[in-house]
Chain A
Amino acid sequence: MQDAVLTPPSFLTLSGISKRYGGVRALEGVDFACERGNIHAVLGENGAGKSTLIKIIAGVVQPDAGSMRLAGVDVSHATPSAANAAGVVCIFQELSLMPDLSVADNISIASPPRRFGLIDGKAQRRRAEALLAEIGCEDVNPLMRVRDLPLSRRQMVEIAKALGQRPQLLILDEATSALTSADVEKVYAMLARLKSEGTAILYISHRMHEVEALADRASVFRNGRHVETFDKGVRSTADIVQLMIGRDIATQYPAKPVRAPAKPVLALENLSWEKQLDRISLGVGAGEIVGIGGLDGQGQKSLLLALFGVLRGVTGRITVEGREVRPGSPAAAKSPAVGIALVPEDRKTEGLMLPMSIADNLAIASLDALSSGPFVDRAKERAAVERGIARLQIKIGAPGDAVSTLSGGNQQKVVIAKWLMTEPRIILLNDPTRGIDVGTKQELYRLMRELADQGAAILFYSTDYDELIGCCDRVAIMYDGRIVRELEGAELTETNIIASALNIDAARPAHAAAGAAHA
C-alpha cells in the first residue's frame, strides 16, 4: 500500500477536545488544525462552541478531554499568560485594556522594559510609538489614558498590544466590530503583513463579507462539533449559513407588505442635541419598520437615546400620534401616554440585570401595570412572564434561573420580551442583532415584522446594511448628525446606502463600489 505523501504537521492541532459547562456540552470531540501564514475563519452560531474553542487555545479555560499540539509540541495552557509565552495571543471582543492606565502602560503591561528593577517609562513609550506606527495609528499619544480615547482607537490600542507580543498564532474574536471603516482597512493590511511573515491567524466574525474578503480557509462549528473545513471560494454564503444552522433556510428576511403610507405615529421635527444631532426630521408610521443607517458614530445612537429621554438639552419637536411630547427620562418615555420602548446597545450592562432571575428581568419595566394597589400582584406577574417567554420562544430552564445562564440570543429575547410587556406603540432598537447567532437573528426579523403588522412603529438602527435592506420599509442614512437621504422601494440598495453613508453623490458609483468591500 502506498503511503500518502507525508504532509507536514499543522502548526496548531487539536484532537478530541471536549468541554462541558454543567449540563451544557460546549465542545464535543473536536478535531481542528490551522497552519502558519494562513488566515483561518471560525464560523458558527452563538453556542456553537467557537468562543469556548478560542478560550481553550488562549488558555482562559481548560478542556475536559483532548489534547493540543502547537508547533509539534504537546501543550496545555493553564493561564492566558502561559499561552502568551507560547506565542498564542488573543484579541477578545471585550477589551483587555485598563481604562485608567496610559496607552503606553497598557501596551507593555505584561513585561515592560525595565531599568534598575523599575519600569522604564521612556523605553516603554518608544515601544508604544513603534507599535502604533506599525498599525498606522501614529496620532495616538502614548501618554493618553485609554479611557479618554474613542472606542475605535481603544480597539486599535488593543491590537497594537497584541502585535507587540509578536504572536505566532493570533486570534481575533470579533475584533473589528468596534472599528471605523478606516481603521478596519489598517487592520486588514496588518493581517496581510502578518500572514506573509508566517503568522497563523484565527478569525472569528459574524460578518460574512469580512470573512469572504479575508479568509483563506474557514471552519464551521455547530452544536459544539466541528462540521467542516473548506478553502476560500469552495462554499457559497448560502451553503455556509446552512452548515451553521443545519437546516434549510428558505428566505432570510420576512416579506415586506405593500401598504399605503400610514400617518406617522412618531414624528420628529428639527431634533438637535449638542453636536451629535443636527435638525433631524423623520416620521415613522404605524406598521412601518424604519431603519437608521450610516457609518458609525454619526449620531444614530444619540437619536435613539434622545427619543427615549436619556439626553438633556434636546431641542426640536417630538410628536406621538399628533401630540407633542418631551420625554425627560426613560420612565416618561415608557409611560402609556408616550409608549416608547428602547432595546439598548449592550444587553449585558444596559438591558439586563444579569444576576437576577429571568422573571425579575422580564417584569421590571411593567411592575406598575402588574400591581394592584401598592403591592405586586404575583399571579398577574407570573402569567405575564409566562406569556412573554412563550411569545418569543425563549429557551430557559426555569423562570427563576439567573438570566446570566442564557445564551446571547436568548438574553436579547428577554430584553425584547420585557419591553413587549409594556405594550409600546413605538419600538426603538439599538443594533439588536450584534453578536447574535444567525438562527435567533431570523427569529428577531420575523418578530419585528409581526409587531409592525400589529400596528407598532419601529425604528431600527443597524450596522449591517444587509439587515437594513432586508427588514426595513424605509432607511434613513445619517451623516454628521443629519439625515442625508431616505431610501425606500427600488432605491433601497446597498450601493445607495453606502453612497449616502459616505455622503457621496450616488451619480459616482465607482467610489461607492470601492466602499462596498467592507460594508
Chain B
Amino acid sequence: MTTMSLGLSRDDRPILIAALFILVILVAGTGYTIVRFGSAPLLSPNYLLQQLQIGAFLGIVAAGMMIVILIAQIDLSVPWTLAAAAMMATSIGGPLAIPAGLGIGLVIGLVNGIGVAYLRVPSMIFTLGVNAVMRGLMVAHTGGYAPQTTATNLMQTLASERTLGIPNALFVWAAVSVLVVVILQRTPLGRYIYAIGNKEAAAYLAGVDTRRVTVLCFMLCGLAAALAGVLLAGYSTKAYQGMGDAYLLPSIAAVVIGGTNILGGRGRYLGTLVGVVLIVLLNSVLSIMEMPEAGRQVIYGLVIILMLLVYGRSERVTS
C-alpha cells in the first residue's frame, strides 16, 4: 500500500484514512447542501464548533473507553454511570454537584475494577451487571421519572457557554485529551497499560501490579463517563432517564475506527479523537440531509465495516 511506503507505522494508517474519510464526508455533505439549499453551512466555523461541542461528550466517554479497551477489557456500564453521575449531580446541586457526580464515576469504576481484576469475572459480563444495578438504583431513587432539579450554573457554564468564542466543553475535552495522551505516552502507567493489553502474564512477571493498573483504568473510564454525564446534564439543563444509552456503542465504534485494536495492546489516542469527529460529523451531515433514522443506522453500520475492511483486518490464522 502506498501509505506503507510513506513510512507510516501500522498505527498511523487508520488515523490518516479516518481523517481522509472525514474530508470525504464534509465534501459530500457540502455538495449536497449546495445543490439542495444553495449554501455550505457545513463549512461555517460556527457550525463546526457547534458540532465539536456536541462531540465533546462522546469524545470524553470514548477517551475513557479507549483506556479500558487498551487493557483488553470493555466497560458496558458507561450508559448508567453517565446517567447516575448526571442525576446525582443535579439532585445534590450546589458546589458539591460536580465533585459528587465525578465521585460516583470513580466508585463505579472501582467496583468494576475489583470485579474484573480481583474476582476475574469477564469484563463484558461484570460491567453489564453493574450497568443493570446502576439503572436499578437510579430508577428506585428518582421514582422512574427524570429528576426535576436542574443542573447547577457551573455545570451549565461548562457545557453550554463559550469562552473567547470557543465552547467551554471543547476546553474540557481538550484537557481530558491532553491528560490521556500524557498518561499513555509519557508515564510508566501508560507503558503498563499497553503491556497488560498485550500479555498480562508477562507484565505480571515483569513486576507490574496488573490488578491495580486494571482497577485504575476502570476508574478512569468511570470518571470520564461521569464527567460526560455532568456536562450533558449541564447542556440539557437537567438529567433524564436513559441519557447515557446513546453513548455506549458509538464510543466503542469511535475507538475502533481510530485504529485501536479491540483485543487490546495497540492504538493511539489521536485515532480515537479522529474517530469521534468522524462519527459526530457523519451524524450531523445525515441529519442535514434529513435522512430518517432507518437510513442513518444503515449508513452508520456500513461506514464502520468499510473503515475496518480497510485497516482493521486481523491476520489470517496459520498457527
The residue from A349, A356, A376, A418 contacting B186, defined by CB atoms under 8 A apart: A376
Residue interface bits A336-352, CB-to-B below 8 A is 1, else 0: 00000010100001111
* Also in contact, A418 and B206, with CB within 8 A (given A60-B318, A360-B191): yes
The residue from B202, B207, B209 contacting A333, defined by CB atoms under 8 A apart: B207
Which of B199, B265, B266: most chain A CB closer than 10 A?
A: B199
Which of B188, B201, B208, B265: most chain A CB closer than 10 A?
A: B188
Which of B199, B204, B205, B265: most chain A CB closer than 10 A?
A: B205
Instruction: Evaluate contact between A364 and B205: CB separation under 8 angstroms.
Output: no
A74–B22 alpha-carbon span in the complex (Å) = 54
Instruction: Evaluate contact between A356 and B195: CB separation under 8 angstroms.
Output: yes
How would you classify the secondary structure of chain A's contact residues: helix, strand, loop or mixed?
loop
How would you classify the secondary structure of chain B's contact residues: helix, strand, loop or mixed?
helix
* Also in contact, A331 and B207, with CB within 8 A (given A354-B199, A363-B191): yes
A330 on interface, CB distance cutoff 8 Å: yes
Chain B residues whose CB sits within 8 angstroms of the CB of A376 once the complex forms: 186-188, 191
CB distance from B293 to the nearest CB of A (A): 40
B:179-198 near A, CB below 8 Å: 182, 186-188, 191-192, 194-195, 198
A367–B206 alpha-carbon span in the complex (Å) = 11
Chain B residues whose CB sits within 8 angstroms of the CB of A352 once the complex forms: 199, 202
Chain A residues whose CB sits within 8 angstroms of the CB of B2 once the complex forms: none
B:206-220 near A, CB below 8 Å: 206-209
A250–B191 alpha-carbon span in the complex (Å) = 43
A330–B266 alpha-carbon span in the complex (Å) = 25
* Also in contact, A355 and B187, with CB within 8 A (given A329-B209, A364-B206, A365-B206): no
B314 on interface, CB distance cutoff 8 Å: no
Instruction: Evaluate contact between B202 and A353: CB separation under 8 angstroms.
Output: yes
Chain A residues whose CB sits within 8 angstroms of the CB of B199 once the complex forms: 349, 352-354
* Also in contact, A374 and B204, with CB within 8 A (given A331-B209, A353-B199): no
Instruction: Evaluate contact between A351 and B202: CB separation under 8 angstroms.
Output: yes
Chain A residues whose CB sits within 8 angstroms of the CB of B206 once the complex forms: 330, 364-365, 418
B319 on interface, CB distance cutoff 8 Å: yes
A50 on interface, CB distance cutoff 8 Å: no
Instruction: Evaluate contact between B191 and A354: CB separation under 8 angstroms.
Output: no
A353–B201 alpha-carbon span in the complex (Å) = 9
A308–B206 alpha-carbon span in the complex (Å) = 11
B203 on interface, CB distance cutoff 8 Å: yes
Instruction: Evaluate contact between A368 and B195: CB separation under 8 angstroms.
Output: no
A370–B221 alpha-carbon span in the complex (Å) = 27
CB distance from A251 to the nearest CB of B (A): 33
A:183-227 near B, CB below 8 Å: none
Instruction: Evaluate contact between A375 and B191: CB separation under 8 angstroms.
Output: no
A371 on interface, CB distance cutoff 8 Å: yes
A301 on interface, CB distance cutoff 8 Å: no
A19 on interface, CB distance cutoff 8 Å: no
CB distance from B267 to the nearest CB of A (A): 12
Instruction: Evaluate contact between A330 and B187: CB separation under 8 angstroms.
Output: no
The size class of the interface chain B forms with chain A is 20 to 34
* Also in contact, A356 and B205, with CB within 8 A (given A349-B199, A374-B187, A376-B186): no
Chain B residues whose CB sits within 8 angstroms of the CB of A356 once the complex forms: 194-195, 198, 265
Chain B residues whose CB sits within 8 angstroms of the CB of A413 once the complex forms: none
A334 on interface, CB distance cutoff 8 Å: yes
Instruction: Evaluate contact between A367 and B191: CB separation under 8 angstroms.
Output: yes
Closest B residue by C-beta to A349: B201
Residue interface bits B159-172, CB-to-A below 8 A is 1, else 0: 00000000000000
Residue interface bits B14-56, CB-to-A below 8 A is 1, else 0: 0000000000000000000000000000000000000000000
Residue interface bits B281-319, CB-to-A below 8 A is 1, else 0: 000000000000000000000000000000000000011
* Also in contact, A353 and B195, with CB within 8 A (given A60-B319, A375-B186): yes
CB distance from A352 to the nearest CB of B (A): 6
Closest B residue by C-beta to A352: B202
Which of B202, B204, B208: most chain A CB closer than 10 A?
A: B202
The residue from A330, A333, A371, A422 contacting B188, defined by CB atoms under 8 A apart: A371
A344–B187 alpha-carbon span in the complex (Å) = 26
A354–B204 alpha-carbon span in the complex (Å) = 15
Closest A residue by C-beta to B185: A376
Instruction: Evaluate contact between B204 and A330: CB separation under 8 angstroms.
Output: yes
Chain B residues whose CB sits within 8 angstroms of the CB of A344 once the complex forms: 205
Instruction: Evaluate contact between B266 and A355: CB separation under 8 angstroms.
Output: yes
Chain A residues whose CB sits within 8 angstroms of the CB of B208 once the complex forms: 331, 364
Chain A residues whose CB sits within 8 angstroms of the CB of B192 once the complex forms: 364, 367
Chain A residues whose CB sits within 8 angstroms of the CB of B201 once the complex forms: 349-350
Which of A60, A353, A356, A365: most chain B CB closer than 10 A?
A: A353
Instruction: Evaluate contact between A364 and B191: CB separation under 8 angstroms.
Output: yes
Closest 4 CB pairs of A and B: A367-B188, A353-B198, A334-B207, A365-B206
A-B residue pairs in contact (CB < 8 Å), sample of 29? A94-B319, A330-B205, A330-B206, A330-B207, A331-B207, A333-B207, A334-B207, A342-B205, A349-B201, A350-B202, A352-B199, A353-B195, A353-B199, A355-B198, A356-B194, A356-B265, A360-B191, A363-B191, A364-B192, A364-B195, A364-B206, A364-B208, A367-B191, A367-B192, A371-B187, A371-B188, A376-B187, A418-B206, A422-B207
- Interface set of A (CB-CB < 8 Å, partner B): 60, 94, 308, 310, 329-331, 333-334, 342, 344, 349-356, 360, 363-365, 367-368, 371, 374-376, 418, 422
Known: A60-B318, A330-B207, A349-B201. 12 other contacts (CB 8 A): A329-B209, A333-B207, A350-B201, A350-B202, A351-B202, A355-B198, A360-B195, A364-B208, A365-B207, A375-B182, A376-B187, A376-B191
